[in-house]
Amino acid sequence: MVMRRSMTAWVFGAAALVGSGAAHGGCGGGEDLPASAVNEAKEIFAVRCAPCHGTSGKGDGPGAAALDPKPRDYTSAEWQKSVTDEQIEKIILGGGPAVGKSSTMPPNPDLDKKRAVVKALRAQVRGFAKK
Ligand code: HEC
């Protein structure tokens, strides 16, 4: 119950940010992702992904030290070229084993109902690429 209520508050909080312009991260490659999904993805990345993938996407989060294989360096142009959008979305939802990779990359099955957030996370991963 408590969990549910705080979730709702959190979603509304994310929606409230929309007006502030924080949604325009410049990523998404012309995709029309709802600002609320983009904001939710940012929150999720900071909380669930950055501990391993690092706030700058280099795979240098505090949790990465103990991992083998290491999380990928999202800023690597070669890595960016090596994966498809579909593969990124699949690993986010199903975890490493869904694409034949390490199970240390955890699944996020709750996002199955939030495909726009998955796309926004993928856009965020793409956004770490060196320009
Ligand atoms: C417990 C640490 C951990 C967490 C938390 C984590 N990852 Fe990962 N992630 C990994 C590791 C380790 C790999 C590398 C797996 C491999 O190459 O076998 C990986 C790989 C990936 C890849 C690359 C897949 C590929 O084909 O190269 C993507 C994209 C990714 N993670 C996205 C995310 C996102 C988005 C989140 C948050 C929702 C997240 N990860 C949370 C550890 C983590």
Closest Cα to atom 15 of ligand 1: 102
- Burial-class residue 66 by CB neighbours within 10 Å (0-12, 13-18, 19+): exposed
Atom of ligand 1 nearest to the CA of 49: 37
pLDDT (tens digit per residue) in 99-109? 999 999 999 99
Residue 15 has pLDDT above 80, yes or no: no
| Structure confidence at residue 111 as a pLDDT band (50, 70, 90) | very high
pLDDT score for 29: 52
Please give the Cα distance from 58 to 75 (Å, whole number).
6
Per-residue pLDDT tens over the stretch 35-53: 999 999 999 999 999 999 9
87 lines ligand 1 (CB under 6 A): yes
pTM here?
0.82
- 4 CA distance to ligand 1 middle (Å): 27
Domains defined along the chain, listed by start: 39-131 (1.10.760.10)
The C-alpha atoms of residue 49 and residue 35 are separated, in whole angstroms, by 20
Q: Which residue shows structure tokens 């360096």?
A: 73
Residue 61 in this model has a pLDDT that exceeds 90: yes
83, exposed or middle or buried, with CB in 10 Å at 0-12, 13-18, 19+? middle
